[in-house]
Amino acid sequence: MDVLTTIGLNHYLTISVLLFGFGLFAIITRKNAIVVLMGVELILNAANINLLAFSKFNGAMEGVMFSLFVIVLAAAEAAVALAIVINIYKTFNTVDVSRIDSLKE
């Protein structure tokens, strides 16, 4: 009962593992490039939860700062990735990643 009522490090790590697993699953199984990007975002969120959890239970600021930079990188990544996806759609008329098989037109 004590394990359930006292929120410890393992609770956060469990949530983060689940989010990471779902993100990996989306990247492996989905054909739509946008859903693959959503999987990447889930993985980044899982990493952020880990960083913040370790930071809190360590009493240090490193994880908090690092998670801030992770969010910055995620924003940049999403913008560039969506630009690439839109270009792929213009070229191939589909965002099905299993049918995109050439690097130039």
Question: In sequence order, what DSSP letters do the residues of 11-26 get, joined into one string?
Answer: HHHHHHHHHHHHHHHH
- The site that binds another protein (CB under 8 A) totals a number of residues, namely 72
Q: Which two tokens stand for residue 83?
A: 């630009």
Cβ of residue 23: shortest distance to another protein, in angstroms?
8
Q: Which of 47, 68, 101, 104 contacts another protein by CB under 8 A?
A: 68
47 binds another protein (CB under 8 A): no
CA distance 12 to 30: 27
Cβ of residue 63: shortest distance to another protein, in angstroms?
9
Per-residue interface string for the shown chain with another protein, residues 14-33, x marking contact by CB under 8 A: xx-xxxxxxxxxx-xxxxxx
Q: Which of 47, 59, 103, 104 contacts another protein by CB under 8 A?
A: 59
Cβ of residue 67: shortest distance to another protein, in angstroms?
6
Taking CA atoms, 16 is separated from 30, 71, 94, in Å, by 21, 16, 32
CA distance 66 to 42: 17
Q: Which two tokens stand for residue 66?
A: 């690092």
